[in-house]
Amino acid sequence: MRGDARSMTWTSPRTPAQAVRALAADPRALAFAGGTDLMVAWNMGLLNGRAVVDLSRLTPWRMIRASRDGLSIGSLATHAEILRHPAVRARFSLLADACATVGAAQIQNRGTLGGNLANASPAGDTFPALAVYEAVVHCLGPEGRRALPLLEFFAGVKKTRLKPGELIESVFLPSLPKPARAQFRKVGTRGAQAISKTMFAGALWLDRDGVVADVRLAFGSLAPTVRRLRAAEAFLKGRRLDAATSAEAAQLLDADVSPIDDIRSTRAYRLAASRGLLARFLAGR
Ligand SMILES: Cc1cc2nc3c(=O)[nH]c(=O)nc-3n(C[C@H](O)[C@H](O)[C@H](O)COP(=O)(O)OP(=O)(O)OC[C@H]3O[C@@H](n4cnc5c(N)ncnc54)[C@H](O)[C@@H]3O)c2cc1C
């Protein structure tokens, strides 16, 4: 069945409170941001008979604001706006690199960070970077505001902990010292327009003696939701990076992920490729 605009109710609230009220009033109502995911659903007729709450007039939710404490990204900021923002590039380069791999230019120009998060695909490109930056998702709903750490925001494949009527307002990335090394890598069937088989973001801080002072490692597409590699991180802290340490850390990957065979890849390939990504990052390549 094709999308039928006549069967849909379309509202364009001017304030966040109006948007929340419109969503809370109808359990089947849907927020519409860039529409890159929802237009696919529209084409399949899945929006027929539904109330759509267009967020495009909530212009303050497009803002990206840098401060000493960190960076606040409005949920309606597009991937293109994020990847071009000077503070994102200078201070949170993993996120800029991730946004640059989302679809192609058309998708980057329409798709928003809030839509990416709410869609909660295991392969959402921004999630490993946001996990490394320990981002906090700020939500607004009928009961007011609340903040959820990124890893608690996701509840499973395509599932979030957003409550009925609740919207993502912004995402906050706390400031952190400049890492000695930071890397984002996405492995897909092609170099562009691909959904990842595996995806890695990592940041590493070394002390003056070359010992790992801190390390944050995250993978996407290896579990129902984005994962930090807690076992490998704990193992690496306080150690000098050499070939044996890197190899041992890469073996600890399995402790925190549970990849599957599906149409895009196999469990075995995902694990082998991910170990390779991790080893290359730790080797500084
Ligand atoms: C051709 C194509 C290629 C793509 N490639 C990639 C890719 O490489 N990597 C990737 O990660 N994604 C990809 N996507 C998915 C999509 O583009 C992104 O997830 C995008 O960020 C979604 O944002 P949007 O604003 O378009 O969301 P929309 O389509 O507007 O909404 C998506 C979902 O989020 C909800 N929502 C939107 N905004 C909010 C909010 N503020 N609060 C609460 N709920 C909200 C909507 O109700 C809906 O359920 C692709 C999609 C297409 C069609």
Q: What is the pLDDT of residues 6-24, one digit of tens each?
A: 788 999 999 999 999 999 9
CA of 232 to the centre of ligand 1 (A): 31
Please indicate whether residue 46, judged by its CB atom, sits closer than 6 Å to ligand 1: no
> Residue with the nearest Cα to atom 31 of ligand 1?
115
Q: What is the pLDDT of residues 94-152, one digit of tens each?
A: 999 999 999 999 999 999 999 999 999 998 999 999 999 999 999 999 999 999 999 99
Instruction: Give me the pLDDT at residue 282, please.
Output: 93
Place of tokens 């991790």: 278
> Residue with the nearest Cα to atom 14 of ligand 1?
103
Question: Can you read off the two tokens belonging to residue 62?
Answer: 């497009």
Instruction: Give me the pLDDT at residue 190, please.
Output: 73
Q: Quick one: which of 222, 223, 184, 220 has its CA closest to 202? A: 184
Q: What is the CATH number of domain 181-282?
A: 3.30.390.50
Buried b (16+ CB within 10 A) or exposed e, 146-174: eebebbebbeeeeebebeebbbbbbbbbe
For the chain, list residues with pLDDT below 50.
none
Return the domain boundaries, the chain. Answer: 5-54, 59-174, 181-282
CA of 106 to the centre of ligand 1 (A): 12
Whole-number Å distance between alpha carbons of 128 and 187: 13
| Identical topology for domains 5-54 and 59-174 | no
Please indicate whether residue 124, judged by its CB atom, sits closer than 6 Å to ligand 1: yes
Q: Out of 3.30.43, 2.60.300, 2.40.160, 3.90.1150, which CATH number does the structure's domain 5-54 have?
A: 3.30.43
What sign has the CA pseudo-torsion 237, 238, 240, 242? negative
| CATH class in words for 59-174 | alpha beta
Contact by Cβ (8 Å): 8, 47: yes
DSSP 3-state of 21: helix
CA of residue 138 relative to chain centroid, distance = 14
